A and B are shown apart, each in its own frame.
Chain A
Amino acid sequence: MSTVSWITVRGLFGRRRFLLLLPLPVLLVTLAVLARGLGVAPADWGPPVLVGLGLAVVLPVVALIVGTGVLGAEIDDGTVVHVLTTPLPRWQIVLPKLAVAAGVTAVTVAVPLFAAGLLADSVRLGVALVLAASAGALAYSALFVAASLLTRRPVLLGLVYVLIWEGLLSNVISGTRVLSIQHYVIALADRLAPTDLLGTTVSVSVAAVMTALIIIAFTLLAVNRLRSFSVAGETS
């Protein structure tokens, strides 16, 4: 593990904010277990729990907490200066932080999504959800790490994207789904384990290409922004 990754992981798990990651995955598993235990038909509980909660809320919110935590929190408290006053090329700072963010997000959402997919349908659906969510975790993380460098309020910007763009607009205006990571994840999962439980309107090719594009574009943006990182003047 690189030194940047090590500091990032220690910082992430050393803050109380990390505890925010736990309730949503627990809620997802609890609802799936309850629905299955009460004998509710998967066609009734699957879409709202798997998509409505798992892919539309748990994945992006966990990615938002972690993605803005790996760099945004260090920018907020000023500790980022210690890493930046080293001759490391800035991509060697951004990539490990992105990897930590995507990894922690993927692991956090993988267990509940696998459990929910298994309970709703099959192991195949569980694995498909894990794989698609991992790709989504990387895309969301790239977006939120870049947001940490674009604005002083990355969490707010992230919430606007997740709640307004993906949660509201993409359900009302179909065209916005082409720019929705949530719909890429649904399309990818549906391709890996075709099922009626995951309604998709974005083609797999669009989902794959756009996911890759978002990861590359926002990573490059983050590296470029970090090269020009400014500390706010305190004297004016």
Chain B
Amino acid sequence: MTTTNTAAPAATATSTLDLAGVSRWYGNVVAVNNVSMSLGAGVTGLLGPNGAGKTTLLHMMAGFLAPSRGEVTLDGRPTWRNPEVYRRLGLVSEREAVHSFLTAYEFVLATAKLHRLPDPPAAARRAIDLVEMADAQDRRIGTYSKGMRQRTRVAAALVHDPQVLLLDEPFNGMDPRQRLHMMELLHALGDEGRTILFSSHILEEVEQVSGTVQVMVAGRLAASGDFRTIRRLMTNRPHVFAIRSTDDRALAVALMAEASVTGVELGRDGLTVRAGDYGAFTRVLPKVALARGVRVRHLIPEDESLESVFSYLVEA
């Protein structure tokens, strides 16, 4: 005799959100300029300074704005004028508007009913548990802190178990503990095979949640992919390494003779080396150190942080 597992299915079938040559302009102002990208399973950060076009792009992805040119599709179907996409897509918009006269449970339950879910109360409880709002679920939303309202909105966006979740500045107003919990939640959702995209202008948030980024600068997609890989592709910018060794001065002299090294600074805390070619430098350093009998104790790429990548992109 066999048994069938009837538990809620895990997110197995992944969804893909595609943007093909998407532009959006308001009169003479171009908010988004010819952006193409394909978002699959996992967590992706949409990064950019204020006014870069992140929200406009998210609204087009979520079907709340028609592209002036190009097309946004979810699993091959356009998101614009197509409410059916919301069976697989959840949105947490930047605007904090929530029905303040409802309790969190009433709000999430109403959302579950609007989605015509088979068991709305169970779905509502599951979503509220997911964002750790069970203790406060029977209080009116109007009495909540900013972070609690945000989590309630996330619960509503997750109530139908969407394959794709779009979040616009989701960490706004959250305290550090809530922020950490939200980051863990996004990680977990991404690991389940969901497509998660969140926008932020806070570099640390994106760095902690996702290695994969889409960087918007002045309406254009300035870079796309893992930010460390993006950094290594910026060959016009020397890579900066902090090195400490048993003999910094001898190592500095030896490195200056290498073609891949463009500059060396000797300081009290060790060496700062600028390398034009990341790969060549990391191959040559052990050889040079070995030849000089110097032991390298500390080697850190100093400008591989998202902050460095981002500042390079914005300055470019």
Chain A residues close to B by CB (< 8 Å): 3-4, 6-7, 10-11, 14, 77-79, 81-90, 227-231, 233-236
Let me know if B99 and A231 touch, CB within 8 A: no
The SS class assigned to the A binding surface is loop
Q: Verify A4–B64 contact, CB threshold 8 A.
A: no
Which residues does chain A contribute within 8 Å of B153, judged by CB atoms? Answer: 82
Sorted nearest first, the 10 A-B pairs with minimum C-beta distance are A78-B97, A14-B101, A86-B114, A233-B56, A78-B95, A231-B64, A3-B113, A79-B97, A236-B31, A235-B55
Would A81 and B51 count as touching, CB distance under 8 A?
no
Q: Least Cβ distance of B62 to chain A in Å?
A: 7
B110 CB within 8 Å of chain A: yes
- Asked if B101 and A10 make an inter-chain contact with CB atoms under 8 angstroms apart, the answer reads yes
A236 near B29: Cβ-Cβ < 8 Å: yes
Known: A86-B86, A87-B86. A235 touches B91 (CB 8 A): no
Q: List residues of B whose CB falls within 8 A of some A CB.
A: 24, 26, 29, 31, 50-56, 59, 62, 64-66, 81, 83-87, 89-91, 93-102, 107, 110-111, 113-116, 153, 156-157
Q: Find out whether the CB atom of B95 lies under 8 angstroms from the CB atom of A233.
A: no
Q: Which residues of B contact A234 (CB under 8 A)?
A: 55-56, 94
Partner of B102, one of A10, A86, A87, A90: A10
- Sample of 15 A–B contacts (CB below 8 Å): A3-B113, A10-B101, A10-B102, A14-B100, A81-B93, A81-B97, A87-B87, A87-B116, A227-B81, A230-B66, A233-B31, A235-B31, A235-B56, A236-B51, A236-B56
Residue of B nearest to A229 (CB): B64
- Cα distance A7–B98 in the bound complex, in angstroms: 12
Number of CB contacts from chain A to chain B under 8 A: 94
Residue from the list B29, B93, B94, B115 in contact with A86, Cβ < 8 A: B115
- In the bound complex, residues from chain B placing their C-beta under 8 Å from that of A79 are 97-99
Known: A81-B91, A235-B50, A235-B51. Contact between A86 and B83, CB under 8 A? yes
Question: Is B111 a contact of A86 with CB atoms below 8 Å?
Answer: yes
Query: How far does the Cβ of A148 sit from chain B's closest Cβ, in whole Å?
Result: 16
Write out the residue numbers on chain B whose beta carbons fall within 8 Å of the beta carbon of A87.
83-87, 115-116
**Could you say which of A227, A228, A231 contacts B59, with CB atoms under 8 Å apart?**
A231
B81 touches A7 (CB 8 A): no
Residues in chain A near residue B89, CB distance under 8 A = 85
Asked if A228 and B66 sit within 8 Å, CB to CB, the answer is yes
Residue contact B81 to A228, C-beta cutoff 8 Å: yes
Contact B59 A233 (CB under 8 A): yes
Min CB distance A84 to B, Å, is 8
> Which residue, A11, A81, A88, A227, has most C-beta atoms of chain B within 10 A?
A81
Identify the closest chain B residue to A6 (Cβ).
B110
- Residue of chain A at shortest CB distance from B168: A234
**Within 8 Å CB of B93, what residues of A?**
78, 81, 231
Q: What residues of chain A lie closer than 8 Å to B52, measured between beta carbons?
A: 235
> What separation, in Å, do the CA atoms of A122 and B282 have in the docked complex?
99
* Bound Cα distance from A77 to B97, whole angstroms: 6
Set of chain A residues within 8 Å of B50, measured between Cβ atoms: 235
Chain A proximity of B171: nearest CB distance (Å): 17
Shortest Cβ distance from residue B301 to the other chain A in the assembled complex, whole angstroms = 32
Closest A-chain residue to B120, C-beta based? A3
Which of B51, B95, B114 is packed against the most chain A CB atoms within 10 Å? B114
- Complex contact B26–A233 (CB within 8 A): yes
Tell me the smallest distance from the CB of B42 to a CB of chain A, in Å.
Answer: 22
Residues of A within 8 A of B110 (CB): 3, 6-7
Residues of chain B with a CB closer than 8 A to A230's CB: 59, 64-66
Q: A3-B113, A81-B64, A86-B114 are in contact. Are A235 and B99 (CB under 8 A)?
A: no
> What's the least CB distance linking A3 to chain B, in Å?
4
Beyond the given pairs A234-B56, A235-B53, 12 more chain A to chain B contacts, judged by CB atoms under 8 angstroms and listed by A's residue number, are A7-B110, A10-B99, A77-B97, A78-B95, A81-B91, A85-B86, A86-B83, A87-B83, A87-B86, A228-B66, A231-B64, A235-B56
Report chain A residues within 8 Å CB of B53: 235
Q: Smallest distance from the beta carbon of B194 to chain A beta carbons, Å?
A: 16
Question: With a CB–CB cut-off of 8 A, which chain A residues contact B81?
Answer: 227-228
Shortest distance from the beta carbon of A231 to any chain B beta carbon, whole Å: 4
